[in-house]
């Protein structure tokens, strides 16, 4: 089968379809995932083709979605749970943190929970409260979970299948404002890399931008803009947020000796803090300037008319690049 | 006024005082007796509330609002509940309670701030007895229960009304609110607008039995009222609030109604529901039946209806003008009111952003 | 055996087949007819289960366990439910279901690992049809519901039993499990041991009405059974499981019983409840009544009872020996089984700890 | 009134009593807080003296505890919620993160929520699963919350009163294995410092240990042990975890030029990461070695028989001190 141009949302849809086809134990469950095909249409057409028993419109209760997924997984299924928006994952937080994350450990490996929890995340779509959050740090801080995020259609297509195939529970963050971004996806090519590998999406020599999800595009744009000023910036798409592919990260920073972490999440006690802390520790002698963080501020996500000032954008990144290099 | 003895048009458990055709009917447990002025006012409320909704929908289509959650079809449920509330009462809404907001004296313009994206609710809940809109499904039912426990502790006379939808009935929080209010006999009325849909999911995804029966499992009464009959909703809500104020604890009111529009302006209901369903419910329009009742009984004539329409036009103009005047906030305000007592961390971040924004000044 | 027609000693809604005095009574909806062997076996189960409990309590007092959650008084509820379960069924326990574990063939020694602090449950749930103990109140009711939905999808014949307490009935998760199981008609039996207390809180802190009535609000049947009557519990559980297997959906069984001991060995119930209450319940002891029944009907004599006591002694000795043989895990195993697929982060941390621990070797 | 020797638990009890006396709007609510006086007896005797309407034994539902506290706070009360153990706060996580933390922001300051959420936290008491966790990072990462932790009876007595008096919601972490530690508490002396100030609990010149809650004692012991080897260690008790008193922290690190963060929480994407990241950034030129973190591992809290190997102890801290100074 030759490649075709897909949006990120459609690539996820195709990836889910493939997973449903390949393994009869794969289930999709969530609010409005069936008839409607999800509020972002990521599950469009799947209930029609795979039936109501495999693509399940659930009651409006997130703890119920994840809690019953645990039971289904114990029974041998591979549930893919959709949380409709980032801000609505918290009613399920207890089940995720105390059950999903701990069951394999608790059972000394006897009980596997191959559950994928899909969460459209991040801002920039002009939405109301609770629809633009970046809660990934909560999950990264939770041992027993693995956390990944795709940034483009090709990764979306492959990573969702890899996540579903994993025997560990995975929180899968989808950059909602990139759902409509397009790229060529070739299903016959095979997965380009492991789910756990970071990718150097742009090679450069002067400074490393470490990022993931929706901010990858912003960082690439910043790097392109900087190029016109003669700056050579490397961009690393982390892809896996827990665990992080430190080898790739450290290699890049050792090379450029300047690092900036870019993420929409509130900066304080976040995944970005971890990245900055670890690089500072591992590259103590190589770093020529402190690791900077261009992240969301320590406020709740603001109203949409000022979200552009909250989100890390091209200018704030370039400003940080200047500060890093001028240090 | 003559009250005719006509059988309600729905199942016997449905409290109805006005048929879809505008005929008054009796109910063994609930009755209402208003002045002519009051009947007319209810009609006026319904029309104005619908106009708020149509104007906001139009503003959204024109790009002035990012989103709008329409209450079309639910006017009677909201006006009936809203007009049952008295001064000492406090209401906890979802994101769709524009009609209750109106009854509580919230200027419709301030409702738009959230949907325009300039604030998260422009009114002071303490002034209005009307909490800010709550978007996370079900959370507000616990807040309402806690507020009601506060009323008890203050020895205050009021009661609380918690609004939520059919979909929300599945959330843990809502059921915990049922537990708490029952255990503490808190003066709260749970007002569930069963508009048959939770986005694309029909009621069967939430319950196999009528929702008002949920209350039985928690030890307090549940009643199903015709949510498109403003008189019945008013009567049932008043009784439930009175019961709460007397110290007899919570009541679950299920207002049986229909979401005539999309879930929000982002939604496309043609993907999941049949047009025929909509047609059936059109025949039960809450405004038409009140209009028919007023006409039939001679309580209002063409002039009165025209006067109400004029008032609606004026309200619409007020909303439109007010909406366009809602300016974008200053970016630096994004740090305001995170804390009542401030924070050194935010002070530092505010300074950074100010310096950064300042660096662009004069640059262009 | 003659079944005498004696009125049950509690309210009419309480299903009872054996009075506290050991007399058989009839119930219009539930009956049981076992072989003499089976009656004797049930008695034996009750005695052995109690002995597991007393031995573990003793081990805790002697410092061999960090904690123990006693089931004293709840033996009949657990054996009745546990013996109703068949091969294809799966049980989701709390932390107190030692009697159900026993019925499901879990070696009591492996139960102790968690309480000794050497593991978090030493058995394989898949082998036993018995999930690990769940400590976060209520979580397992959703797991049970999901597992039941899995049985449906597999077209399997089994059913699921979810155990929880009176206190747990207040948790959102438990009520969500009621919603889900009802909506999907999942083959699950919710088995609530109402032992009257949630640590120090009496039932009134959770509900104003009998707990079995909760089910009504969710559209499925609820039944209250004498939890100290093993025959009634067995009959009611079998009926509920059968109903589930037939595809008729969930049932809530409230086993009305009493926690005769402290909440756990860390608790001091004299701070919050009266000794008199305990005395009343002593008269309803689940083992005594079964013993009286067996004696009265001549199904068992002194020799049989003595033989059971000997078996109990042997079991106790087995538990004690097994407990003392439960060694502390190797520290480095703290990294094992966090993930099925490993993690580079943990590999690094494991190496660090190993090196650090290694640095002490030979140091002493 | 002269001072008396109190355990940390009793100091909290006295602090709560004072708060109840001083302000009729203060309420205490939680599971078993009334008749039993709490599983750790922190609320012992309070229901007897202040009545069931002010010291409320609640239904067993944490979301309900916090959710109704929100309503009570809107009505003008100052609820103090007890979460029985650290691992049981997660059912309330949604109410805490999406309601408690955001209400003041959402309402543009019109609605204040002076709620104190007390959480006994940390390990070392030989308990079963969910009874030994350190979830503070989740709350530190949540804008709109303030997070504090006491480490000794004097702070316990004053900080709980200061927290209750604050108009902002505060998550108050109590080091459960220190409940029985004793010290002289003098109520007439007045609060020794602001709730937001860190405290240098031991002055030293060679390396700074940054810590809080139960680990303060461990760090002091480590410092004492190191002294016998001629090492001069400074110990900073952070007290406020969000926001952190960076002035005190940075001043100490600038002085010693070596910093180690000690915390029981899993290290990855934690508060310790934030501290390490920020110190690395702010003291880039002063630091003579990387900021080290002696924290919980990235595993679920293990069974009690090996918890001593999981918890940062004296030896692991001294080992880090050696590594820091030898770098
Ligand atoms: C916890 C949570 N989950 C999901 C959503 C997304 N969502 C918004 S409205 C809605 C449906 C609500 O249905 P219902 O309670 O019937 O109220 P209605 O919209 O019909 O008035 C959903 C799923 C949300 N706001 N909160
Ligand atoms: C979510 C959660 N909150 C609090 C606790 C602490 N806790 C353990 S047992 C218990 C009481 C449980 O009562 P009940 O459900 O009646 O069961 P029982 O112990 O009586 O068998 C509490 C509050 C917990 N384990 N989980
Ligand atoms: Mg609805
Ligand atoms: Mg109990």
Task: Assess whether the C-beta atom of B96 lies below 6 angstroms from ligand 1.
Answer: yes
Q: Would you report the helix, strand and coil content of chain B in percent, each value rounded to 5?
A: 50, 10, 40
Would you state the pLDDT for residue D314? 96
- Can the peptide bond before residue A327 be classed as cis, meaning omega within 30 degrees of 0? no
The finding on whether D88 has its CB within 6 A of some atom of ligand 2 is: yes
* Contact status of D111 with chain B (Cβ, < 8 Å): yes
Q: Which residues of A touch B333 (CB under 8 A)?
A: 306
Ligand (nearest to CA of B69) = 1
**β-bridge partners, D202:** D235
Atom of ligand 2 nearest to the CA of C95: 21
- Within 13 Å, how many C-alpha atoms sit on residue A227's CB side? 13
Contact by Cβ (8 Å): C248, C185 = yes
Are A80 and A46 in contact by the 8 Å Cβ rule? The answer is no
**pLDDT 10s digits, C191-207:** 999 999 999 999 999 99
| C51 assigned to active site | no
Cα(B262)–Cα(B350) distance, integer angstroms: 40
pLDDT at B364 over 90: no
Name which of C89, C97, C106, C84 is nearest C147 in CA terms: C89
**Nearest listed ligand to the Cα of residue A129:** 1
> Is residue C166 lining ligand 2, measured as CB closer than 6 Å?
yes
Task: Report the number of distinct structural domains present in chain D.
Answer: 2
* Helices B36-61 and B75-84, axial angle in degrees (round to 10): 130
Ligand 2 geometric centre to CA of D39 (Å): 12
**What 3-state DSSP class applies to D188?**
helix
Of residues C264, C111, C115, the one with CA closest to residue D127: C115
Q: Report the alpha-carbon distance of residue D259 to residue A63 in Å, rounded.
A: 41
Answer whether residue A149 is part of any domain: yes
Least CB–CB distance from D277: residue in A91, A140, A277: A277
Taking only the tens place, the pLDDT of each residue in C242-301 is 999 999 999 999 999 999 999 999 999 999 999 999 999 999 999 999 999 999 999 999
Of the three residues D145, D167, D189, the one that is the final residue of a domain is: D189
Instruction: Supply the DSSP symbol for C24.
Output: B
pLDDT in tens, B286-314: 999 999 999 999 999 999 999 999 999 99
CA D294 – CA D291 distance, rounded (Å): 10
Using CB atoms within 10 Å of the CB of residue D147, give its burial: 0 to 12 exposed, 13 to 18 middle, 19+ buried: buried
Q: Is residue A194 part of a domain?
A: no
> Band of the pLDDT at D47, cuts 50, 70, 90?
very high
**How many whole angstroms separate alpha carbon A243 and alpha carbon A146?**
7
The confidence band for B196, taking pLDDT boundaries of 50, 70 and 90, is very high
- Joined together, the tokens standing for residue D235 give 């110990």
Q: How far is the CA of B137 from the centre of ligand 1 (A)?
A: 5
C267 min Cα distance to partner chain D (Å): 8
With CB atoms and an 8 Å threshold, state whether A243 touches C146.
no
Is B338's CB within 8 Å of D105's CB? yes
Cα angle, residue B283 at apex, residues B282 and B287 outer, rounded to 5° = 80
> In terms of domains, do A241 and A119 share one?
no
Extract long-range pairs of C2-6: CB within 8 Å, 24+ residues apart: C2/C297
Ligand 1 and B135: CB distance under 6 A: yes
pLDDT band at residue B362 using 50, 70 and 90 as cut-offs: low
Can you give the CATH number for the domain in which D292 is found?
3.40.50.920
Contacts of D144 in chain B (CB under 8 A): 338-339
Query: C195 CB under 6 A from ligand 2?
Result: yes
Q: Do A98 and D87 touch (CB under 8 A)?
A: yes
Helix, strand, or coil here: A250?
A: helix
* CB-based contact C227:C165 (threshold 8 Å): no
* Contact between D192 and D200 (Cβ < 8 Å): no
Per-residue pLDDT reduced to its tens digit, B136-175: 999 999 999 999 999 999 999 999 999 999 999 999 999 9
The two tokens of residue A308 are: 């552009």
Question: With a CB-CB cutoff of 8 Å, which residues 222-251 of chain D face chain B?
Answer: 242-246
- When pLDDT is averaged across residues A51-59 and rounded to a whole number, the result is 98
User: Helix, strand, or coil here: C356?
Assistant: helix
- Using a 6 Å cutoff on CB, does residue B166 contact ligand 1? yes
Query: In sequence order, what are the beta bridge partners of A5?
Result: A184
Residues paired with B224 in a beta bridge: B14, B254
C364 classed as catalytic:
no
Q: Is residue D194 part of a domain?
A: no
D225 and D176 co-located in one domain = no
Q: Which of A111, A100, A37, A44 is nearest to A69 (CA)?
A: A100
Which residue of C150, C173, C341 is in closest CB contact with A77?
Answer: C150
Q: A140: domain CATH number?
A: 3.40.50.970
- The residue segments making up the domain with residue D152 are 4-189
Q: Which of C263, C289, C293, C320 is catalytic?
A: C263
Sign of CA dihedral C346, C348, C353, C354: positive
Does C98 contact ligand 2 (Cβ within 6 A)? Answer: no
Could you tell me if residue D311 is inside a domain? yes
Q: Which of D83, D45, D283, D282 has the alpha carbon at shortest distance from D171?
A: D83
From the CB of residue B105, how many other CB atoms can be counted at a distance below 10 Å?
12
Rounded to the nearest angstrom, the distance between the alpha carbon of D318 and the centre of ligand 1 is 53
DSSP string covering D214-254: THHHHHHHHHHHHHHTT--EEEEE--EEES--HHHHHHHHH
Domain B4-324, CATH class in plain words:
alpha beta
Tokens encoding C200: 């120090």
> Do residue D32 and residue C66 have CB atoms under 8 angstroms apart?
no
CA distance B57 to B51: 10
Contact D279, D249 (CB under 8 A): yes
Atom of ligand 1 nearest to the CA of B165: 15
Residue at a domain's end among A154, A189, A224: A189
Pair (A159, A211) in one structural domain: no
* Structure-token pair, residue C149: 């939905």
Q: What pLDDT, in 10s, does the model give residues A102-147?
A: 999 999 999 999 999 999 999 999 999 999 999 999 999 999 999 9
Q: Do B167 and A60 touch (CB under 8 A)?
A: yes
Q: Does residue D162 share a domain with residue D53?
A: yes
Shared-domain flag, residues A86 and A131: yes
Could you write out the DSSP letters of every residue in A99-120?
Answer: IITTHHHHTTTSS----EEEEE
Question: What's the pTM value of the predicted model, to 2 decimals?
Answer: 0.98
Res. A256: pLDDT tops 60? yes
Query: Which token pair is C223?
Result: 């039944």
Residues D313 and D169 in one domain: no
Same domain, yes or no: D245 and D312:
yes
Residues A153, A205: one domain? no
Q: How far is the CA of A56 from the centre of ligand 3 (A)?
A: 19
Based on the domain organization, do D59 and D143 belong to the same domain?
yes
Query: Counting Cβ atoms within 10 Å, is residue A283 exposed (0-12), middle (13-18) or buried (19+)?
Result: buried
Residue A208 phi, psi dihedral angles, 5° rounding: -105, 125
Q: Which of B169, B206, B217 sits opposite C216 (nearest CB)?
A: B217
Say whether B5 sits in a helix, a strand or coil: coil
- Inter-chain residue contact C179 with B213, CB threshold 8 Å: no
Tell me the percentage of chain D whose pLDDT exceeds 70: 99
Taking the Cβ of residue C277 and every Cβ of chain B, the question of whether any pair is shorter than 8 Å is answered with no
Predicted ipTM of the assembly: 0.98
Q: In which element (H, E) is residue C266 found?
A: none
Taking an 8 Å cut-off on Cβ atoms, the answer to whether D31 and C120 are in contact is: no
The pLDDT tens digits of the residues spanning D168-220 come to: 999 999 999 999 999 999 999 999 999 999 999 999 999 999 999 999 999 99
Q: Domains of chain B: which residue ranges? A: 4-324, 333-359
pLDDT tens for chain C, 364 residues: list them. 333 434 444 577 999 999 999 999 999 999 999 999 999 999 999 999 999 999 999 999 999 999 999 999 999 999 999 999 999 999 999 999 999 999 999 999 999 999 999 999 999 999 999 999 999 999 999 999 999 999 999 999 999 999 999 999 999 999 999 999 999 999 999 999 999 999 999 999 999 999 999 999 999 999 999 999 999 999 999 999 999 999 999 999 999 999 999 999 999 999 999 999 999 999 999 999 999 999 999 999 999 999 999 999 999 999 999 999 999 999 999 999 999 999 999 999 999 999 999 988 765 5
pLDDT at B234 over 50: yes
Residue D248 and residue D276 in one domain: yes
Residues 6 or more apart whose Cβ sits within 8 Å of residue B214: B169, B178, B207, B222, B252, C217, C218
Contact D17, D6 (CB under 8 A): no
pLDDT (average), residues D100-112:
98
User: Would you say residue D90 lies in a domain?
Assistant: yes
Check CB contact of D270 with chain A, cutoff 8 Å. Answer: yes
- How many other C-beta atoms are found inside a 10 Å radius of the C-beta of residue B262? 18
Is there a single domain that holds both residue D205 and residue D183? Answer: no
pLDDT score for B85: 98
Contacts of D266 in chain A (CB under 8 A): 141-143
Candidate of C77, C167, C190 to mutate for ligand 2, largest count of ligand atoms within 8 Å of Cβ:
C167
Check whether residue D29 and residue D100 sit in a common domain. yes
Which residue, A168, D169, A125, is CA-closest to B343?
D169
């Amino acid at each position: 089968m030759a490649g075709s141009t897909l949006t990120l949302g459609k690539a996820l849809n195709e990836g889910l379809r493939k997973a449903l086809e390949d393994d009869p134990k794969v289930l999709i469950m969530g609010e409005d995932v069936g008839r409607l095909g999800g509020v972002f249409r990521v599950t469009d057409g799947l209930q029609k083709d795979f039936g109501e028993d495999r693509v399940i419109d659930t009651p409006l209760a997130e703890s119920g979605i994840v809690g019953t997924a645990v039971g289904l997984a114990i029974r041998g299924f591979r549930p893919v749970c959709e949380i409709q928006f980032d801000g609505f994952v918290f009613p399920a937080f207890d089940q995720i943190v105390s059950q999903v994350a701990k069951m394999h450990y608790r059972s000394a490996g006897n009980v596997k929970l191959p559950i994928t929890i899909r969460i459209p995340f991040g801002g920039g779509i002009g939405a109301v409260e609770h629809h633009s959050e970046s809660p990934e740090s909560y999950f990264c801080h939770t041992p027993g979970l693995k956390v990944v995020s795709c940034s483009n259609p090709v990764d979306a297509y492959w990573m969702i299948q890899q996540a579903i195939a994993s025997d560990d529970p995975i929180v899968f963050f989808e950059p909602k404002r990139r759902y409509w971004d397009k790229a060529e996806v070739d299903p016959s090519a095979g997965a380009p890399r492991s789910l756990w590998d970071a990718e150097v999406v742009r090679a450069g020599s002067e400074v490393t931008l470490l990022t993931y999800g929706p901010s990858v595009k912003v960082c690439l744009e910043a790097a392109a803009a900087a190029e016109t000023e003669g700056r050579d910036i490397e961009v690393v798409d982390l892809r896996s947020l827990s665990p992080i592919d430190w080898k790739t990260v450290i290699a890049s920073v050792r090379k450029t000796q300047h690092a900036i972490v870019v993420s929409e999440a509130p900066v304080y006690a976040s995944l970005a803090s971890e990245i900055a802390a670890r690089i500072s520790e591992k590259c103590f002698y190589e770093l020529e300037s402190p690791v900077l963080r261009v992240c969301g501020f320590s406020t709740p996500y603001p109203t949409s008319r000022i979200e552009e000032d909250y989100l890390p954008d091209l200018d704030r990144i370039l400003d940080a690049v200047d500060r890093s290099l001028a240090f | 006024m003559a009250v005719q003895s006509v059988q309600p048009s729905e199942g016997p458990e449905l409290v109805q005082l006005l048929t879809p055709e505008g005929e008054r009917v009796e109910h063994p447990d609930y009755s209402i007796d208003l002045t002519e002025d009051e009947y007319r006012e209810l009609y006026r409320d319904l029309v104005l509330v619908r106009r708020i909704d149509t104007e906001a929908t139009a503003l959204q289509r024109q790009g002035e609002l990012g989103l709008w959650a329409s209450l079309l079809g639910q006017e009677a449920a909201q006006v009936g509940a809203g007009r049952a509330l008295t001064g000492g009462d406090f209401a906890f809404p979802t994101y769709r309670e524009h009609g209750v907001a109106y009854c509580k004296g919230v200027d419709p313009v301030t409702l738009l701030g959230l949907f325009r994206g300039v604030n998260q609710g422009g009114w002071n809940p303490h002034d209005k007895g009307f909490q800010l809109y709550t978007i996370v499904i079900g959370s507000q039912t616990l807040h309402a229960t806690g507020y009601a426990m506060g009323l008890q502790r203050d020895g205050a006379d009021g009661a609380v009304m918690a609004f939520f939808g059919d979909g929300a009935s599945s959330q843990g929080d809502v059921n915990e609110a049922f537990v708490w209010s029952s255990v503490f006999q808190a003066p709260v009325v749970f007002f569930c607008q069963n508009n048959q849909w939770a986005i694309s999911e029909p009621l069967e995804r939430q319950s196999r039995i009528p929702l008002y029966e949920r209350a039985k499992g928690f030890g307090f009464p549940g009643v199903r009222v015709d949510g498109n009959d403003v008189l019945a909703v008013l009567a049932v809500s008043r009784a439930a609030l009175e019961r709460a104020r007397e110290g007899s604890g919570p009541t679950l009111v299920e207002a049986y109604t229909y979401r005539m529009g999309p879930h929000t302006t982002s939604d496309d209901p043609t993907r999941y529901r049949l047009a025929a369903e909509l047609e059936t419910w059109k025949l039960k329009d809450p405004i038409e039946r009140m209009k028919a009742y007023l006409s039939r009984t001679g309580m209002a004539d063409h002039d009165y209806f025209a006067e109400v329409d004029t008032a609606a036009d004026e309200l619409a103009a007020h909303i439109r003008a007010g909406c366009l005047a809602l300016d974008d906030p200053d970016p630096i305000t994004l740090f305001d009111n995170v804390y009542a007592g401030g924070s050194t961390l935010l002070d530092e971040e505010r300074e950074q952003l100010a310096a950064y924004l300042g660096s662009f000044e004069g640059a262009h």
